[in-house]
């Protein structure tokens, strides 16, 4: 039984120019659309908000469609009969980039897009199906077309809140979604007096109201002039744009509250993933290009890690026939996030609630952990995993950034910060001193609008080891390495004050003032029905470290004398460091100074010589005091890599890659002038 009625393959061609990947042989790429039809009253998807208000066909079913892509062995019998589903991010394909160390592409076809060939050498079929209903076509993004809900044919309206935070000066116009690539809910009126437009410096500052005659619902049109033969600009009314002639200035948070119409049924994203993967796994007809699949694994990072956690929590890992969909899931850098998509007028592209951006988002709500626990504020008891017949195995991986920015400690503590033992089917790993986004092909250090270089720790080697361990666990019951996380029991999960005492006093470095607290927001009495009151009422907040009273406790990993994380899985670059690598990076002057910059961590280079250390008063040992030569540095990296291999946390094939990256002081990743 399935709600997916057809895979419509529109294009089939060789992948990687027909290159043969060892025993798996050549691969091919299939692209097309998945066509769905679901019963809005069936228990399998009854919790999808507004599905009962979507248009129905003659049989009473709701239809929707999704872009799909599949990379598979030409000869399926030469593959490993496993499908790896990549949730992607905001319509972008990401798995090849992070598992294969390939350059990012939404149109993977060439040999370079195969990177090191990891997926192909293992025999995986890699699949994508669009799940995000607010993406607009363009740049190869995956698009999910979902219906608009109505009230018996009449438009549904409601208040919508959106932020605009520029990184550079000059912007005067935004789509109402705040993102170029995302669908905007149209305003019911272009009369600005029916909306509220404000700005504030920091999330908790009182907002300054921008008078309605100083902005408009409009867009700019640019083009060659008819008379002057130079570029001309016109401003025209638009019900899905905001125009602010004075300009959106960096260092300010702009917020618009307006009445929108025509909500999309965004919760169908979970149904799209469930039924697509279930079809690939269980359908044995000729219509299934991956028939005879034995195992299915799901991976999501950041936004889609949250989506994957919510998918499991809401029971979508059981298909419409009650069968397990994913045998194992790997949510990465999701922190404690989960709920945010399945409500009226949802905008899935919006990030999780950060310290500065989108701080008052509904992205995080109890339960935060896979294990049963009690919310000490409400008395509610719940868990993400609560359906043992269909729950998947779980590898939850996160970086230092999640502890500072995305409330990562709540993934493995109760709401008061006490250690919370996880189910035997769960492993949680901290990738120590690394940051949220870690480009495997990173070049020279970059600073952006942060006070420090962005964190440059290399971690893609862990993805490959994790997938091998997941497959062995799901297939043969081989236990993976135990969880590697900071805990209260061993004093490696600590409060901010303790951390501040541990962190070295590095000249010119301003540590983040505190981790990102979770504001308690009241979205109204119908929030559990997916109907949010906007704006919400702030019950309790402030960017404090958390503690007693009306708050959840946020804790961070302990650090050594260099400021690098002690607990977790230490990447070779952290075990043999050339600097301090943190999960936080304060915004620079003029950009919300001092508050965390999105999900960026920091790389703070060590002094290079003892003379430099003495001149600057840096308490950290110099590079040449640690490693007399670049060969000694490379040897330290290799030794750290081999220890990880011995512990089952890294593959042997990645030792040589680490050695190559460490040559010549790890340049270009590192700022070293020796």
* Structure-token match 């899985």, residue found: 569
pLDDT at residue 249 tops 60: yes
Read off the pLDDT band of 363 (50, 70, 90). Answer: confident
Is 187 strand, coil or helix? strand
- DSSP-derived letter for residue 639 is H
Strands 537-540 and 154-155, bridge-based pairing: unpaired
Phi first, then psi, for residue 115 (nearest 5°) are 55, -130
Q: Tell me: the pLDDT tens digits for 451-507?
A: 999 999 999 999 999 999 999 999 999 999 999 999 999 999 999 999 999 999 999
CB atoms within 10 A of CB 290: 23
Instruction: Name the strand (E) or helix (H) holding 269.
Output: helix 268-282
pLDDT at residue 545 tops 70: no
What pLDDT score was predicted for residue 228? 63
Using CA atoms, how far apart are residues 103 and 96, in angstroms rounded to an integer?
Answer: 8
Instruction: Name the strand (E) or helix (H) holding 70.
Output: strand 62-73
Range with the poorest average pLDDT among 7-21, 253-267, 529-543: 529-543
Using CA atoms, how far apart are residues 331 and 204, in angstroms rounded to an integer?
Answer: 31
CA 344 centroid distance within chain: 22
What pLDDT score was predicted for residue 226? 64
Read off the pLDDT band of 541 (50, 70, 90). Answer: low
Q: Tell me the β-bridge partners of 63.
A: 37
Question: How is the chain split into domains, by residue range?
Answer: 1-147+265-346, 157-261, 370-674
What pLDDT score was predicted for residue 623? 98
Is 99 strand, coil or helix? helix
What pLDDT score was predicted for residue 547? 43
pLDDT at residue 122 tops 80: yes
What pLDDT score was predicted for residue 382? 98
pLDDT at residue 141 tops 50: yes
Q: Tell me: the pLDDT tens digits for 370-393?
A: 999 999 999 999 999 999 999 999
Using CB atoms within 10 Å of the CB of residue 35, give its burial: 0 to 12 exposed, 13 to 18 middle, 19+ buried: middle
Using CA atoms, how far apart are residues 41 and 62, in angstroms rounded to an integer?
Answer: 10
CATH topology of domain 1-147+265-346: Rossmann fold (3.40.50)
Read off the pLDDT band of 550 (50, 70, 90). Answer: low
- DSSP-derived letter for residue 601 is -
Tell me the pLDDT of the chain averaged across its residues: 95
What pLDDT score was predicted for residue 5? 81
Are the CB atoms for 63 and 34 separated by under 8 Å?
A: no
Q: Tell me: the pLDDT tens digits for 273-315?
A: 999 999 999 999 999 999 999 999 999 999 999 999 999 999 9
- Reply yes or no: is the peptide bond before residue 535 cis, omega within 30 of 0: yes
Read off the pLDDT band of 600 (50, 70, 90). Answer: very high
What pLDDT score was predicted for residue 546? 45
Which residues are within 8 A (CB) of 487 and not within 5 positions of it... i.e. 6 or more apart?
419, 493, 567
What pLDDT score was predicted for residue 551? 85
C-alpha distances out from residue 359 to 134, 520, 541, Å: 21, 11, 10
Read off the pLDDT band of 229 (50, 70, 90). Answer: low
Q: Tell me: the pLDDT tens digits for 180-225?
A: 999 999 999 999 999 999 999 999 999 999 999 999 999 999 887 7
N-to-C CA span, the chain:
64
DSSP string for 533-586 = -SSPEEEE--S----SSSS----EE-B-TTS-B-SSB--HHHHS-SEEEES--B
Nearest CA to 397 out of 411, 381, 417, 413 is that of 411
What pLDDT score was predicted for residue 1? 47
Which residues are within 8 A (CB) of 294 and not within 5 positions of it... i.e. 6 or more apart?
81, 82
pLDDT at residue 328 tops 70: yes
pLDDT (mean) for 648-660:
98
pLDDT (mean) for 155-177:
96
Using CA atoms, how far apart are residues 80 and 244, in angstroms rounded to an integer?
Answer: 55
Phi first, then psi, for residue 373 (nearest 5°) are -155, 170
């Amino acid at each position: 039984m399935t709600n997916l009625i057809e895979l419509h393959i529109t294009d089939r061609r060789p992948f990687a120019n027909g290159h043969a990947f060892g025993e798996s042989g050549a691969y091919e790429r299939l692209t097309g659309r998945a066509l769905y039809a679901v019963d809005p009253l069936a228990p399998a998807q009854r919790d999808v908000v507004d599905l009962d208000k979507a248009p129905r066909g003659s049989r009473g079913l709701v239809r929707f469609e999704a872009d799909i892509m599949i990379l598979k062995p030409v000869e399926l019998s030469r593959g490993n009969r496993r499908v790896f589903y990549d949730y992607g991010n905001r319509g972008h394909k990401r798995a090849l980039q992070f598992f294969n160390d390939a350059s990012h592409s939404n149109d993977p076809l060439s040999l370079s897009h195969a990177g090191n060939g990891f997926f192909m050498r293992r025999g995986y079929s890699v699949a994508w199906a669009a799940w995000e209903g607010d993406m607009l076509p363009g740049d190869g993004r995956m698009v999910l077309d979902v219906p608009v809900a109505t009230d018996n044919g009449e438009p549904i309206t409601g208040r919508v809140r959106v932020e605009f935070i520029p990184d550079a000066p000059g912007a005067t116009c935004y789509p109402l979604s705040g993102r170029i690539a995302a669908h905007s809910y149209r305003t019911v009126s272009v009369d600005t007096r029916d909306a509220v437009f404000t700005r504030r410096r920091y999330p908790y500052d009182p907002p300054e109201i921008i008078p309605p005659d100083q902005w408009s619902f409009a867009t700019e049109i640019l083009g060659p002039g008819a008379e002057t033969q130079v570029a001309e600009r016109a401003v025209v009314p638009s019900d899905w744009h905001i125009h602010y002639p004075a300009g959106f200035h960096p260092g300010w948070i702009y917020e618009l509250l307006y009445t929108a119409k025509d909500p999309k049924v965004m919760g169908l994203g979970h149904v799209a993933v469930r039924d697509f993967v279930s079809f690939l796994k269980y359908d044995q007809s000729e219509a299934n290009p991956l028939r005879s699949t034995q195992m299915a694994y799901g991976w999501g990072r950041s936004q889609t890690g949250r989506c994957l956690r919510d998918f499991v929590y809401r029971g979508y890992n059981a298909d419409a026939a009650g069968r397990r969909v994913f045998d194992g899931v790997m949510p990465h850098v999701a922190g404690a996030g989960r709920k945010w998509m399945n409500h009226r007028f949802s905008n899935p592209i919006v990030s999780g609630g950060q310290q500065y951006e989108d701080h008052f988002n509904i992205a995080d709500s109890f339960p935060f952990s896979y294990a049963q626990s009690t919310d000490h504020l409400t008395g509610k008891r719940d868990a993400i995993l609560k359906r043992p017949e269909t729950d998947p195995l779980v590898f939850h991986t996160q970086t230092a950034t999640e502890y500072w920015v995305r409330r990562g400690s709540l993934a493995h503590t109760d709401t008061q910060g006490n250690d919370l033992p996880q189910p035997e089917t769960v492993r949680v790993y901290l990738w120590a001193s690394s940051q949220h986004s870690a480009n495997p092909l990173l070049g020279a250090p970059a600073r952006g609008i942060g006070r420090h270089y962005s964190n440059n720790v290399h971690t893609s080697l862990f993805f490959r080891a994790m997938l091998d361990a997941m497959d062995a666990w799901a297939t043969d019951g081989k236990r993976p390495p135990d969880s590697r996380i900071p805990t209260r029991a061993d004093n490696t999960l600590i409060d901010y004050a303790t951390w501040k005492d541990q962190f070295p006093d590095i000249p010119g470095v301003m540590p983040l003032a505190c981790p990102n607290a979770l504001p308690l927001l009241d979205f109204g009495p119908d929030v559990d029905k997916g109907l949010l009151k906007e704006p919400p009422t702030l019950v309790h907040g402030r960017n404090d470290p958390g503690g007693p009273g009306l708050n959840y406790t946020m804790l961070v990993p302990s650090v050594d004398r260099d400021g690098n994380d002690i607990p977790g899985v230490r990447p070779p670059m952290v075990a043999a460091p050339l600097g301090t690598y943190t999960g936080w990076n304060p915004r620079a002057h003029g950009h919300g100074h001092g508050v965390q910059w999105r999900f960026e961590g920091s790389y703070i280079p060590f002094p290079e010589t003892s003379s430099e250390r003495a001149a600057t008063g840096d308490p950290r040992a110099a590079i040449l005091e640690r490693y007399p030569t670049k060969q000694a540095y490379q040897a330290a990296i290799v030794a750290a890599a081999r220890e990880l291999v011995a512990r089952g946390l890294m593959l042997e094939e990645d030792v040589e890659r680490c050695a190559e990256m460490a040559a010549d002081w790890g340049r270009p990743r590192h700022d070293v002038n020796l």
